[in-house]
Structure 1
Amino acid sequence: MAILKHIAIKNTDYGEAQRYLLFQHDEHTKKPILDENGELIPRKEYYIDGINCDPFSFDLECKELNAQYHKNQNFDEIKSHHYILSFDPKDTEDHGLTGEKAQQFGLEYAQKNFPGHQALVCTHTDGNNESGNIHVHIVINSLRKYDVEHQTFMERPCDTRAGYKHHLTPAYLIYLKRSLMDICHREHLHQVDLLSPAEKKITDREYRTKHTGQKKLGTLNNEMLSKGIAPRQTVFQTQKEYLRTAIEYAAASSCNIEEFQATLLKNYQITLKVSRGRFSYLHPERNKFITGRALGSHYTEDYLFSIWKKQKEPQKQFHTGSDIFTSHSNSTTSAFTEEKETKAFCFIKSDLRLVIDLQQRVKAQNNPVYARKVKLSNLQQMAKTIAYVQERGYSTEDDLMTALTTSQSETANCRKNLRSTQQELKRINEQIHYTGQYLANKSVYREFLHAKNKKQFRQEHLSEITLYETARNFLKQQASSEKLPSMKLLKSEKEKLLSIKNMQHQKYQKRKQYEKELQTVCKNVEMILHGRSDFEKNSEKNLPLR
């Protein structure tokens, strides 16, 4: 998914932005990384261009323009604006996104939305903390250099004239987000609705905390494994992530707010507070409540009450009367089949762990006490593994490998079905969003059509008219008939798809855990049967497991 981030900069040193784009910086402190000689280290891969300026003399040209118009001279003035277009890491493999393509998208975006400004457009391919997501930096001088023609997003007459500053309003920001979404839809890139509240609201701070915590946890787990201790926790979880998981499970097993509150407190030690009808949650290790809005739209009072209301209503078979839902008929009618399959596959996770290979442990060879401790642990795991294969009726090693292959295939099918449902749900969400946007601004557009001075009316209601025209164009492209889809039918279809998605997600998680357990069993059996010598490894291929 592509996201848009804006940073207003008051620093008078335009060269700092150039150095950040061209040289390596610490992502946390934003300070440059120096080599052993104290010199700046160039970035490994980047693409940079300048609009209305030379990219390597951007700082000098901006200062000359500011001096010409006597602007950006005060300390508290915004000297430049920094926009970041960050693309989904999956776009690289799924849709062939490269640094060159992203740079072209950035140039197109900057020329269209910031006309007349001096701009630096630079694409980085390393991503935040080397995550691999390609992102484009656009740094513009807040002062416009050239006169330009009037555009639909411009709200003031001076927005077209040189010597006036970039003015970012809420309506303009909506237009910028819509423009980025249009590029992603046109290029078939992963994209979410930037104009609607996020289902899971993950801030930069939470993202960095999770990354740092996972790195520290991995180091700690490696130290424990070197001592022969199996770590219990392998995935770091932030406090907000803990709250989200707990709320999801508690909401699914509750029918009202009283049950929900009791489940959170009993099972997860989370306190729910309702103030002015709004939900806030207290993590067991915190002293300050976290609001539902800070967690995401799926953890607010409105969404949770809608879930409980749906659980109380009797389930009815859903029929659409429109061709627009024809593509969903297979997924909606298979809801009961998915539910039966989920109930039929019952998986109880065991406490099996991998048998440790002593020959690969240097510490075990040098420390007899540690080696003895590992041997005792291995004997326990071997005994559990033998009991496991006997209880499930695996006669030979080939039978066990067949079961693992079958499990991997079933897990892949579950993942494929889940992704298909997610894509259908994404399409329905887009239709709901644009249908609501269309209906909300329809009356204003009617007034615009009957207005005597249409130009003045458009300037006064630019955001409403832009939102209406965007929604109208989208619905025309998506609808198979001229009839506008009913909001009631769309929301009913969304609830049905959400139910299917939840069942498919639970089934996929169980299949994934079962596959992981079989992999552990297969590796342990390999150690039991073939861990002594190469001769035994070749001669005991089909020895009975019992």
Structure 2
Amino acid sequence: MATFKHISSKNADYGAAEQYLTFEHDEFTMRPTLDETGRLVPREDYRLATLNCGGEDFAVACMRSNLRYGKNQKREDVKSHHYIISFDPRDGTDNGLTVDRAQELGERFCKAHFPGHQAIVCTHPDGHNHSGNIHVHIVINSLRIEEVPLLPYMDRPADTKAGCKHRCTDAAMEYFKAEVMEMCHWENLYQIDLLHGSKNRVTEREYWAQRKGQAKLDRQAAAQAAALPAGEQPPKPTKFETDKEKLRQIIRAALSSATSYDEFSALLLRQGVTVKESRGRLSYLTPERTKPITARKLGDGFDRTAVLALLEQNAHRAAEKAAAIPEYTRTIRERLQQGKTAKTAPKQGAIQRMVDREAKRAEGKGVGYDRWAAVHNLKQMAATVAAYEQYGFTSPEQLDAAITAAYADLHDSTAELKTLEAALQDKKELQGYVLRYAKTKDVRDGLKAQKSDKARAAYRQKHESDFIIADAAARYFREHGIKKLPTYKSLQAEIEQLTADKNARYNDYREKKERVRELQTVKGNIDQMMRGAPSQQKRHEHDR
């Protein structure tokens, strides 16, 4: 299950990022680990590469670019963005993922989604918890040094221009997560749905609070065990729970028996927890806090929709006097899935490409991998034949024709999406000029009030910057034939409508892209099955 995380940094020392990636650090304090002589301890295994640095060190190249464009000079400026792609620990044994392969995927992801940025890509074979999860660090300079094409997550002209900075918006994170899921789908790696949250939403702060608290309890237990007399059994280890985790357990306990919202509130109040509803959203206030914790920060099973759905089911269960009590987490998940729109992420049960076992054996893959590949190929052969019959194909020519038609549909969808994006960009640009022109109205009216040429010249010189903005806006209106200026609100309504249309078209684009991928996979698998048919026939004849 690949995960994706983002961290922004205001640290002007770009060398600190490379130092963290190449030398050992304490997982709690994040300080470098030193040996007996006081020197830094290098990491045992990692892969490192730099992009767009022109042969220079990453830190030197970033500082040189910042001076060139005059950016990232203030203390409050975001100097760099740190993205982390963590793969499932099982990918190494089940899917043949190696550190070199993960590094290649990370470099490809960086080139595709952060073009024009100086970057450092580093892959580690293990994480803090020593679970064996291979993960890739991508650190980019927030400043863009090259002009780049407009990518789907960009919504401003400055997002493509050299000398401007990278913005990690909510839309960008959604796009990156979808791309990580699609990358894992193509590479036959384990994945989870990164777009629709999780049962327990554990933040970075809560994760480290749990780790530090557990480490403290373990130290105390070790000290108590050392102080015990010989032969006496030490106490059982205690599991540390954060305040949010305790709150989750209290809410689950109340939801397991409550049949109405009033009963649910009363059960929580007995535990000192107050549930509040504001604008259709629930929040929970514990006795030791002054600010409530929103349901969104706890997980998907604690918001208003999930709570009311479970309370409704509990009421039906009590009325019907059913003996079996449905499992809580499964009920919530089913209720939530009913209200969700169609997924834009790759399908979990989609047909996957067959493995060329001979090529993998030539690469040095072991017997275990070959056995897995044999079972995998049998499953994909069955799925391919089923898909072939489901589509109603009777010949390879029909499959080729379907692929050609799917490509044409995808091309049309892409063209429509680009047209909408261009229209949206034009509307946003016009809105910006209208807003800037409106802000100069008082200054322009002041010029009309001047009585002489000398007074008007002095007035224009005094408000030169405002007149430069107004003249640029007026020039834009003339060049585009705009005689009557639209209102800011009308433009905002058009932008929102175009954004909704673009999102709908983007979902259609992803569906057509998935169809092309599936048909290509079917064709590739059938071609591989046909290539393997003669060898299988000879083997059967030999067996007879």
The interval holding the TM-score normalised by the smaller chain is 0.5 to 0.7
- The answer for the alignment partner of 1:261 in structure 2 is 265
Is residue 456 of structure 1 aligned with residue 459 of structure 2? no
- The answer for the alignment partner of 2:504 in structure 1 is 468
Q: Tell me how far 1:284 sits from its aligned partner.
A: 6.0
Q: Tell me how far 1:256 sits from its aligned partner.
A: 1.0
- The answer for the alignment partner of 1:403 in structure 2 is none
8 A contact 1:26–1:32 mirrored in 2: yes
- The answer for the alignment partner of 1:312 in structure 2 is 315
**Offset from partner CA, 1:276-328 (integer Å, 9 cap, x none):** 36444344666664332321221123211111112334799xxxxxxxxxxxx
Q: Tell me how far 1:74 sits from its aligned partner.
A: 3.3
Normalized against structure 2, the TM-score is what? 0.58
Q: Tell me, which stretches of 5 or more residues in structure 1 are unaligned?
A: 317-335, 344-417, 438-445, 480-546
Is residue 206 of structure 1 aligned with residue 206 of structure 2? yes
How far, CA to CA, are the matches of 2:310 and 2:150 in structure 1?
A: 47
State the one-letter code of the partner of 1:468. A
8 A contact 1:124–1:136 mirrored in 2: yes
- State which of 293, 298, 314 in structure 2 corresponds to 1:295: 298
8 A contact 1:24–1:40 mirrored in 2: yes
- The answer for the alignment partner of 2:451 in structure 1 is none
How far, CA to CA, are the matches of 1:60 and 1:249 in structure 2?
A: 56
Is residue 272 of structure 1 aligned with residue 180 of structure 2? no
State the one-letter code of the partner of 1:306. A
1:59-98 to structure 2, matched below 5 A, reads 59-98=59-98
**Offset from partner CA, 1:128-155 (integer Å, 9 cap, x none):** 2444332211111222233333433333
Partner SS for 2:72? coil
Aligned residues: 369
State the one-letter code of the partner of 1:305. L
How far, CA to CA, are the matches of 2:258 and 2:184 in structure 1?
A: 39
8 A contact 1:435–1:475 mirrored in 2: no
State the one-letter code of the partner of 2:245. E
- The answer for the alignment partner of 2:238 in structure 1 is 234
- The answer for the alignment partner of 2:111 in structure 1 is 111
- The answer for the alignment partner of 2:255 in structure 1 is 251
- The answer for the alignment partner of 1:432 in structure 2 is 340
Q: In 2 relative to 1, CA 283–89 (structure 1 residues): closer, same or farther, beyond 3 Å?
A: farther
Q: In 2 relative to 1, CA 50–429 (structure 1 residues): closer, same or farther, beyond 3 Å?
A: farther
Q: Decide which moves more: 455-464 or 48-57.
A: 455-464
How far, CA to CA, are the matches of 2:419 and 2:299 in structure 1?
A: 42
State the one-letter code of the partner of 1:119. A
How far, CA to CA, are the matches of 1:463 and 1:46 in structure 2?
A: 42
Q: Tell me how far 1:221 sits from its aligned partner.
A: 3.5
Partner SS for 2:340? helix
Q: Tell me how far 1:59 sits from its aligned partner.
A: 1.2
How far, CA to CA, are the matches of 1:175 and 1:222 in structure 2?
A: 46
1:17-96 to structure 2, matched below 5 A, reads 17-53=17-53, 57-96=57-96
Partner SS for 2:154? coil
State the one-letter code of the partner of 2:423. F
- The answer for the alignment partner of 1:356 in structure 2 is none
Q: In 2 relative to 1, CA 49–467 (structure 1 residues): closer, same or farther, beyond 3 Å?
A: farther
State the one-letter code of the partner of 1:160. T
8 A contact 2:116–2:147 mirrored in 1: yes
8 A contact 1:52–1:116 mirrored in 2: yes
Q: Tell me how far 1:81 sits from its aligned partner.
A: 1.7
How far, CA to CA, are the matches of 2:169 and 2:219 in structure 1?
A: 46
- The answer for the alignment partner of 1:138 in structure 2 is 138
Q: Tell me, which stretches of 5 or more residues in structure 2 are unaligned?
A: 346-411, 428-494, 516-544
Partner SS for 1:202? coil
How far, CA to CA, are the matches of 1:247 and 1:189 in structure 2?
A: 35
Partner SS for 1:143? strand
- The answer for the alignment partner of 2:167 in structure 1 is 167
Q: Tell me how far 1:113 sits from its aligned partner.
A: 0.3
1:361-510 to structure 2, matched below 5 A, reads 429=337, 432-434=340-342, 454=420, 456-457=422-423, 459=425, 464=500, 467-472=503-508, 475=511
8 A contact 1:448–1:454 mirrored in 2: no
State the one-letter code of the partner of 2:313. K
**Offset from partner CA, 1:235-293 (integer Å, 9 cap, x none):** 22222112212221220211012322343455xx2422324364443446666643323
Q: Tell me how far 1:48 sits from its aligned partner.
A: 0.8
How far, CA to CA, are the matches of 2:218 and 2:291 in structure 1?
A: 29
Q: In 2 relative to 1, CA 95–242 (structure 1 residues): closer, same or farther, beyond 3 Å?
A: farther
Q: In 2 relative to 1, CA 475–222 (structure 1 residues): closer, same or farther, beyond 3 Å?
A: same
8 A contact 2:145–2:162 mirrored in 1: yes
Q: In 2 relative to 1, CA 203–158 (structure 1 residues): closer, same or farther, beyond 3 Å?
A: closer
Q: Tell me how far 1:232 sits from its aligned partner.
A: 5.5
**Offset from partner CA, 1:185-244 (integer Å, 9 cap, x none):** 223433333333433111112111222222233343445556325535632222211221
How far, CA to CA, are the matches of 2:259 and 2:189 in structure 1?
A: 38
Q: In 2 relative to 1, CA 134–92 (structure 1 residues): closer, same or farther, beyond 3 Å?
A: same
How far, CA to CA, are the matches of 2:35 and 2:260 in structure 1?
A: 60
**Offset from partner CA, 1:85-119 (integer Å, 9 cap, x none):** 22333434443433222212211110110112111
How far, CA to CA, are the matches of 1:165 and 1:107 in structure 2?
A: 20
Normalized against structure 1, the TM-score is what? 0.58
State the one-letter code of the partner of 1:185. H
8 A contact 2:146–2:161 mirrored in 1: yes
Q: In 2 relative to 1, CA 109–250 (structure 1 residues): closer, same or farther, beyond 3 Å?
A: same
- The answer for the alignment partner of 2:177 in structure 1 is 177
Partner SS for 2:57? helix
Q: Decide which moves more: 219-228 or 165-174.
A: 219-228
8 A contact 1:265–1:271 mirrored in 2: yes
Q: In 2 relative to 1, CA 95–151 (structure 1 residues): closer, same or farther, beyond 3 Å?
A: same
How far, CA to CA, are the matches of 1:94 and 1:237 in structure 2?
A: 32
